[in-house]
Copies of this chain bind each other. A is one copy, B any other.
Amino acid sequence: MPIDLNADAGESYGAWTLGSDAALFPYLSSVNIACGFHAGDSRTILHTLELAAQNNLAIGAHPSFPDRVGFGRRDMNLIPEEIYADVLYQIAALEGMAKTQGLKLHHIKAHGALYNQAARVADTARAIAQAVFDFDKHLPFVGLPHSQLEQAALEFGLPFMAEAFPERAYSPNGQLAPRGMIGSSIHDPDLAAARAVQMAAGRVETINGAILEMPVQTLCIHGDNPNAVQIARAIRAALEQAGIEVRTY
């Protein structure tokens, strides 16, 4: 089974730069491009699309809550109609811009607080799924396995790509360990790479050492780590060495 390697991208804004897209992209098979609500502006989007095309990456829209100063990381209490409309606007903007570069949207992945809220709140997950469905019912969306997002994808008959995080620790119940917790982030490239190989084989090791079966189609690499490129390189190399094809679905 092949595995997709994705990262959030295009998260610069105006004069401000964030992440190392150009250095990171060669190790990926897909990217989730910020749509202007938490990060990204029209020129950054165009530039990121070009860069993705040069690296033959599948491109996804990465919609967020409307919270630029908070980088979309703060939970917001929107009603489903607001989530629906905001997601639709962002997908549409990205897809239309991609079209001008001869690219097609490959998937949707919600950002930050919206991703997390959609994992646990059915109404949020359904509002996103409805927007994706109304926009293009063949568009996969990416989320945590066994989440409300996966459930919503099922309800709407949308293709779902289950995602795991080689750089994140997992609780015994299979959830991501809270970010504040000591050890919740894995900074060692070799450890992250070993976990990526394990995850590509459908297994996740939790913080208490148990191995959970958790088949996923895509692995997320955090692009905003200082050593993001080093980790991406290690993960890519380890996967290829293990004979696992890195490509999107």
CA distance A42 to B92 in the complex (A): 11
Structural contact, A70 and B74, CB atoms closer than 8 A: no
CA distance A70 to B93 in the complex (A): 20
Structural contact, B66 and A69, CB atoms closer than 8 A: yes
Q: Which of the residues B16, B68, B69, B97 comes within 8 Å of A88, measured between beta carbons?
A: B97
Could you say how many copies of this chain the assembly holds? 4
The tally of residues in A whose CB lies under 8 Å from a CB in B reads: 45
Contacts of A91 in B (CB 8 A): 96
CB-CB nearest in chain B for A91: B96
CA distance A65 to B19 in the complex (A): 27
Task: Check A77/B75 contact, CB under 8 A, given A69-B14, A96-B88.
Answer: yes
17 additional contacts, CB 8 Å, given A43-B85, A92-B97? Answer: A13-B16, A14-B68, A14-B69, A16-B16, A16-B17, A16-B18, A42-B85, A42-B86, A45-B89, A66-B69, A75-B76, A88-B100, A92-B92, A92-B94, A92-B95, A95-B96, A96-B135
